[in-house]
Structure 1
Amino acid sequence: MKYSIITVFFLVIISSCNKPESKSNLHITGNVKGLKKGTLYIQKIVDTSLVAIDTIEINGDSHFTSDLFIKSPEMYYLFLDRGVTNSLDNNLSFFAEAGTIDIQTSLDYFNSDTKITGSKNQDKYDEFKKITSRFNDENLSLTELKFNAYKNKNFRKVDSIEAKQNLNLKRRYLFTTNFALNNKDYEIAPYVALTEISNINLKYLDTIQKSMTPKIAQSLYGKKLIQFYKERKKQE
């Protein structure tokens, strides 16, 4: 009996070692204009950490390619190691999905001067960020006004500004909720629910997770949203 268990154990190891690697279904092309030498890393979040899934050395030619296998549409990150500093401008996000995705950016404005094509979820995400940037800009302006009001000890004005900030936040949450519901057949829907409004009233998360199509519900972020909803429901 002991011998049989050991034999089965080694057969499992051998089988897993001989198992062929999954074929790539994601082809990434791109160009970092102005980059002559450096290292690019394609990363994704595993548990709570960014993990490199491909490394690309740039030496003279700023164009790059990568072939990967992706099980479900997921947010990936292109990190540029300049060999000098690891600023926030060295990392750009893109919503990866099976197919061909092209990333065009530049060395000087790596994170901001970016055009990404080939991903439907990325197109939707770009639309989302364009609107939410307005909420961000308004909040920054209000924060500056509130700081000056505190400085001048005008606490009545501080209260007024905070009320405007709360209204701005509610508007942002409402927009995000509607965005998720209107894009229920895209993986971006559960993604924004998880990353942008995870602390919203539970009934809204329930509405979003119930609205997802069966395909999206079985996606990476769809499953995460359903699990997150169940965990929050237990706590409330």
Structure 2
Amino acid sequence: MKKIIVLVLLAAFAFACSSKKEGNMIVEGNIKGLKKGTLYLQKMKDTLLTSVDSVAVFGDGNFRLSDNVDSPVIYYLTFNGNTTNRRILFFGNQGTITINDNIDLFGISPEIKGSENQLVFNKFLEVNSKFKNQRLEFIKKEFEAKKANDEDLLKKLEKDFSNMIRRKYLYTTNFALSNPNSEAAPFIALTELFDANVKLLDTINNSLTPKVKNSDYGKRLDKFIKSIKSNSEK
């Protein structure tokens, strides 16, 4: 009798797993070297990072996750719920997205296919990483100049840093203007130009195609610009 109960429970569990309703976005792939662990599919809801799906991985590193996507937005693939040191950031959209990575270098250089916005975003990240490295170099030089009480060098570094920031803003703006049909454009504006002159944001906003304007990030950018203008009038 006990064996029958166990078999019934196992059958019910298997049916529940197989009948899991999938969304219009499938995220699948392989994390090489992952023998045991849990992968979480997460996205921002308001200001909170929320898990929308998860899967326990055993042995081969293969995984399959899903969610319903109304508009392309950023998702995170995290390992064992760690959202800081071990995560893969990618643009989610309807359809199948394939992500392959290695557990030892998880999140550093994953292979992501199936997202047009991701291709655009990757191009931006390639150049933006150079600006980040330059910023770190300036911080190092500033620390050394302060330690040496070198006022002349500090003034030069301040001027050079300001010029670098202007170049970064110009590059970011031109990149977004060159990709008005990609939801990556308003996302980049929101995350990289939030403290820039509102005229730059306005220029990007006005260049977006109707589809992108009506996307999640397109609406957020428009709302953000309106709030800046409203506060400046007070």
| TM-score (ref. length: structure 1) | 0.86
In the TM superposition, residue 24 of structure 1 has moved relative to its aligned partner by 2.4
Structure 1 residue 181 and structure 2 residue 177: aligned? yes
Is 1:123 matched with 2:119? Answer: yes
SS for the counterpart of 1:28 is: strand
Q: Which runs of 5+ in 1 are unaligned?
A: 1-21
| Separation in structure 2 between the aligned mates of residue 88 and residue 25 of structure 1, nearest angstrom | 27
Q: Which residues in structure 2 correspond to 1:149-168 (within 5 Å)?
A: 149-168=145-164
- Identity percentage of aligned residues: 39
Quote the residue 2:69 is aligned against. Answer: 70
Q: Which consecutive unaligned segments of at least 5 residues does structure 2 have?
A: 1-20
Paired residues in the alignment total 213
Alpha-carbon distance in 2 for matches of 1:199, 1:30: 37
Q: Quick one: distance in 1 between partners of 2:48 and 2:88?
A: 16
Q: How far apart in 2 are the matches of 1:159 and 1:88?
A: 35
The amino acid across from 1:175 in the alignment is: Y
Return the alpha-carbon distance in structure 2 between the equivalents of residues 37 and 26 of structure 1. 24
Change (3 A) 1:115 1:177: same
Whole-Å separation in 2 of the counterparts to 1:56 and 1:172: 39
> Alpha-carbon deviations, 1:94-149, whole Å to 9, x = none?
01111111111111110103111110100011000000111111111121111111
Q: What letter is aligned with 1:45?
A: M
Residue deviations 1:183-207 (CA, integer Å, cap 9, x gap): 0111001000001101211111111
Check whether the contact 1:92–1:110 (CA below 8 A) recurs between aligned residues.
yes
Q: Does 1:220 align with 2:210?
A: no
Q: Which amino acid aligns with 1:90?
A: R
- The answer to whether the 8 Å contact 1:103/1:115 transfers is yes
Q: RMSD of aligned C-alpha atoms? A: 1.6
1:23-172 paired onto structure 2 within 5 Å: 24-81=23-80, 86=82, 88-172=84-168
Q: C-alpha distance in 1, partners of 2:157/2:40? A: 42
